[in-house]
Structure 1
Amino acid sequence: MTPSEPAAMPDTPAIPPAPALDFLCRITCEVGALVTLGDAPLGERRYVPLGGGTVQGPEFSGELVPGGVDWQIQRRDGVTEIAAHYVLKLADGSLVEVQSSGLRHGPAEVMARLARGEAVAPSEYFFRTLVRFTTGAPAWAHLNRVMAIAVGQREARRVVLDLYRLG
């Protein structure tokens, strides 16, 4: 090899294209008052009871069954870890379990405004979850193989989630 020749590159596989995101639905959920369990080893452990709500989208529509729970850890670094678990009742009566885990964080002053129930633009903070579905309804069995990314918005008395199927 001469000084002007490039060094041989080992065979490396091509980087695959980024996965597609296709809009699946919007979930709007009424939320109850936050309940704290106090300071735990990883931060403040708390939960938010989930009330009813709606599901609307090109893939399916229906309602959110009251009784779900959004478990949270308010970490010492200001990040809120989210683990929500609830049920959707689709328009045909089929039930679909939803498990959602993710993170919410932003500048301290923005998060303080959210905590006070003030209106905050979703662009001012990060709120994303990974969503999985489980159902025994034959017509909706394909949802058992779906992963979705939710972009969330926290309001004073509700949460709005826009779900995108991960392709």
Structure 2
Amino acid sequence: MKPTLLTLLSLLTLTNAAVFSPKGPKPPGLTYLYTVNITGGEAAPVGLGPRGYRVVVPIVGGSFSGPKLKGTVLPIGGDWALIDANRTVTADVRQTFKTDVSAYIQVTETGSTQPDGTAFVRLAYETGSEKCYRLNTIVAIGILKLTGNTLTIDTWQVST
């Protein structure tokens, strides 16, 4: 027996009612990954260009530690920050981690400051290490704090 249009519409209505309830969907969870402390080097002011004021800050080292991941930040990479006309800072960071199990992880971060001064980033990972391969597919977010030339990022994995 073929379903009728009315039957299909009824199913769609029931499905939409369950998915789009007045309470909204279930929010994602967050699982703490690590905190990283990055030491920055001398800033290179590229200057005012068509997209804003660009400044490059090299990474000279650091460390990270969390429940399942710890190690050092190698002196490779930096932040190619852009400051727009509204004084919003957009981070464009590349850094390389070496874990305590000798896995190398490329970390890419992008995000921006908020009106209250808080800064958030989205993080992506790339590694060939079997021990850390799961990082290649996760979505992570971080909250930044800057103290002098040390940047601290508390990082969480987004989960269901």
Which aligned runs of 4 or more in structure 1 are off by greater than 2 angstroms?
10-16
Report the secondary structure of 2:133's partner residue.
helix
d(CA) in 1 for partners of 2:141 and 2:114?
16
From 92, 96, 100, the equivalent of 1:83 is 92
1:96 maps to 2:105: yes
Matched AA of 2:86: D
The aligned length equals 141
Report the secondary structure of 1:161's partner residue.
strand
Matched AA of 1:136: G
Give identity over the alignment, percent. 21
Please say if residues 80 and 104 of structure 1, whose CA atoms lie closer than 8 Å, have aligned partners that are also in contact. Answer: yes
1:25-64 correspondence runs (5 A): 25-64=34-73
The alpha-carbon deviation at position 78 of structure 1 amounts to: 0.8
Please say if residues 25 and 60 of structure 1, whose CA atoms lie closer than 8 Å, have aligned partners that are also in contact. Answer: yes
RMSD between superposed Cα atoms in Å? 1.4
From 122, 146, 149, the equivalent of 1:130 is 122
d(CA) in 2 for partners of 1:143 and 1:154?
25
- The equivalent of 1:161 in structure 2 is 153
1:142 maps to 2:151: no
- The equivalent of 1:23 in structure 2 is 32
Taking structure 2 as the reference length, what is the TM-score of the superposition?
0.84
d(CA) in 2 for partners of 1:58 and 1:98?
18
Q: Give ranges in structure 1 of 5+ residues lacking alignment.
A: 1-9, 107-123
- C-alpha offsets along residues 64-88 of structure 1, whole Å, 9 cap, x if unaligned? 0012111111101110010100100
Report the secondary structure of 2:131's partner residue.
helix
Matched AA of 2:54: R
d(CA) in 1 for partners of 2:44 and 2:59?
12
The alpha-carbon deviation at position 35 of structure 1 amounts to: 1.3
- The equivalent of 2:9 in structure 1 is none
Report the secondary structure of 2:132's partner residue.
helix
Q: Give ranges in structure 2 of 5+ residues lacking alignment.
A: 1-11
Please say if residues 78 and 105 of structure 1, whose CA atoms lie closer than 8 Å, have aligned partners that are also in contact. Answer: no
- C-alpha offsets along residues 20-78 of structure 1, whole Å, 9 cap, x if unaligned? 01110000010112211111111101111111111100020000001211111110111
Taking structure 1 as the reference length, what is the TM-score of the superposition?
0.80
d(CA) in 2 for partners of 1:53 and 1:155?
14
- C-alpha offsets along residues 94-122 of structure 1, whole Å, 9 cap, x if unaligned? 1000000000244xxxxxxxxxxxxxxxx
Query: Which of 1 and 2 has greater Rg?
Result: 2
